[in-house]
Amino acid sequence: MPDEIRPRQPIPKNPDVASFMRRFGESAACVAHLREVRWGANLERFICPDCGHDRGWWLPTRGQVECRDCHHQTSPTAGTVFHGARVPLWKWYWAMYQEAYSKKGIAAMALAKQIHVCYQTAWTMLQKLREAMHQRCQRYLLQGLVEIDETYVGGKEPGRPGRGVEKKVPVAVAIELNKDGRPRRIALRGLKRADARSLTDFTTDHVAKGSCLRTDGWGGYASVAKAGYEHEVVVTGGGKKAVETLPWVHTFIGNLKRMILGTYHSVSPKHLDRYLAAFVYRANRRWMEAKLFDRLVVAAVSAKPLTFKDLTAGAK
């Protein structure tokens, strides 16, 4: 379409890079912001982690809050995703900006180049943020009409499409639909195998009992429905017909695969659920894009701290 007749596009409401860096380009500004998010502007939400007292005062030279009762000093980063991190806080804020506003996320190598840290440091930072997203995603259940299907992520295997592919990782996909048949929220999880038991565990963890499951004709879903759900079977026929009959679940599957292939190229099965959680976190908050960064800061403050050893050992 020629430029002169192209419809005017709305200006994005999320902060541009220049305004973001003016606000959070120095760690002192990030510490002040984190303190306010965690404890309030006047420390009205402060609770001493040592004695439980609810009064304290700010020590600007130390960047910590001191309890008025036991005099224990607490950093705004203590007990959060940033706990014990040696990386300046402004670099963490930039990583959160990228994770919040990049629809396909950011690879560790790209972040490492942007903030001048080694690959391992960038990878650890992003995994901790994705774990915060993962913990947040576990708080919600889908309900009502829910489309469920499964897909596979990983390398291509010629002549081995569909279920039973050995080198690919199965991923369960659930999409909650509103009354107009449009998607509201989604849930994803990597599976050890695409069988009825694994899909039942996924469904009971992510879909409220009494909901209606809309699935294809695979027999395993009948067992899933017996766990307390209504069941609507749609005969898809495979190929393009499957996309037409279960359009939204295939739309999100396509977006997920483009994210993995386009940004990360490949994902380790051990850490797959964190990448899935980042995708789910952004997708479920797509109507509040301007607030994604602020919400991610809250998630990072609320999440349990992890170490590099925890991440590499697969602990959560």
Q: Which residue has the higher pLDDT, 14 or 209?
A: 209
pLDDT at residue number 1:
44
The pLDDT of 86-106, averaged and rounded, is 94
Residue 189 scores a pLDDT above 50: yes
Asked if residues 233 and 216 have their Cβ atoms less than 8 Å apart, the reply is: yes
- Quick: pLDDT tens for 196-216: 999 999 999 999 999 999 998
Q: How confident is the model at residue 279 (pLDDT cuts 50, 70, 90)?
A: very high
- Give the domain CATH number at 203: 3.30.420.10
The pLDDT of 167-194, averaged and rounded, is 92
Residue 111 is assigned to a structural domain of this protein: yes
pLDDT at residue number 242:
60
For 17-33, letters b (16+ CB in 10 Å) and e give eeebeeebeebeebbbb
Residue 151 is assigned to a structural domain of this protein: yes
pLDDT at residue number 203:
96
Instruction: Report which of 290, 312, 298, 209 is spatially closest to residue 15, judged by C-alpha positions.
Output: 290
Structure tokens given for 293: 């960064």
Residue 162 scores a pLDDT above 70: no
Enclosing H/E stretch for 149: strand 145-153
The pLDDT of 250-275, averaged and rounded, is 92
Query: Is residue 134 located within the same domain as residue 72?
Result: yes
pLDDT at residue number 39:
96
Asked if residues 257 and 301 have their Cβ atoms less than 8 Å apart, the reply is: no
pLDDT at residue number 243:
66
* Range scoring the smallest mean pLDDT among 57-71, 113-127, 162-176, 285-299: 162-176
Spatial separation of the C-alpha atoms in residues 110 and 125, rounded to whole Å: 13
Cα within 13 Å of Cα(19), Cβ side: 4
pLDDT at residue number 154:
73
Query: Is residue 184 located within the same domain as residue 260?
Result: yes
Query: Is residue 125 located within the same domain as residue 149?
Result: no
Residue 210 phi, psi dihedral angles, 5° rounding: 90, -10
Residue 5 is assigned to a structural domain of this protein: no
Residue 226 scores a pLDDT above 70: yes
Residue 103 is assigned to a structural domain of this protein: yes
Query: Is residue 28 located within the same domain as residue 127?
Result: yes
pLDDT at residue number 116:
97
Asked if residues 154 and 266 have their Cβ atoms less than 8 Å apart, the reply is: yes
Range of 71's domain?
Answer: 17-138+303-313
Q: Left (φ > 0), alpha (ψ -120 to 50) or beta: where does 8 sit?
A: beta
Query: Is residue 177 located within the same domain as residue 198?
Result: yes
Query: Is residue 132 located within the same domain as residue 176?
Result: no
The domain total for the chain is 2
Residue 287 is assigned to a structural domain of this protein: no
Query: Is residue 119 located within the same domain as residue 215?
Result: no
Query: Is residue 189 located within the same domain as residue 211?
Result: yes
- Quick: pLDDT tens for 67-93: 999 999 999 999 999 998 899 999 999
Q: How confident is the model at residue 282 (pLDDT cuts 50, 70, 90)?
A: very high
Residue 61 phi, psi dihedral angles, 5° rounding: -70, -30
Distance of CA 176 to the CA centre of its chain: 17
Query: Is residue 34 located within the same domain as residue 114?
Result: yes
The pLDDT of 82-109, averaged and rounded, is 94
Give me the residue label for tokens 């190229």: 265
Residue 293 is assigned to a structural domain of this protein: no
Query: Is residue 126 located within the same domain as residue 170?
Result: no
Query: Is residue 126 located within the same domain as residue 163?
Result: no
Residue 297 is assigned to a structural domain of this protein: no
For residue 286, give the DSSP letter.
G
Residue 8 is assigned to a structural domain of this protein: no
Overall pTM > 0.85 = yes
For residue 72, give the DSSP letter.
-
Query: Is residue 72 located within the same domain as residue 157?
Result: no
Asked if residues 87 and 112 have their Cβ atoms less than 8 Å apart, the reply is: no
